[in-house]
Amino acid sequence: MRVMAGTNMNTILSNDNGRCIELLHRAEDACIWIVRSSKKILWFRMNATTVWFQDKQQALAFAQTQAEEHRTNRKNINV
């Protein structure tokens, strides 16, 4: 899911079991890409980690790796 607010970009890469991993990009900082991981507890969303990158491809690769690790860990717990 991609949400565009003005010229800002917020792409949700994974939203599974209360954990959300998203890729953020703001037009004001054209060379900054942010990967934010948050966890939903009750009706609150708490930021677990925020990692900043200067390259979109690095940020996207990191976010996809984090999402895959989360899915793998979740499968191992359920087994």
Would you say the pTM of this structure is higher than 0.85? no
Q: Which residues of 15-42 are buried (b: 16+ CB within 10 A; e: fewer)?
A: eeeebbbbbbbeeeeeeebbbbbbeeee
The pLDDT of residue 53 is: 92
Range of the domain at 60: 2-78
- In a 13 Å sphere around the CA of 75, the CA atoms on its Cβ side amount to 6
| Number of domain units in the chain | 1
The pLDDT of residue 75 is: 59
The pLDDT of residue 76 is: 57
Distances in Å between the Cα of 37 and the Cα atoms of 12, 30, 54, 79 are: 10, 21, 18, 24
| pLDDT (tens place) for every residue of the chain, 79 residues total | 455 555 677 888 888 777 888 888 887 777 899 999 888 877 777 777 888 999 889 999 998 888 888 777 665 555 5
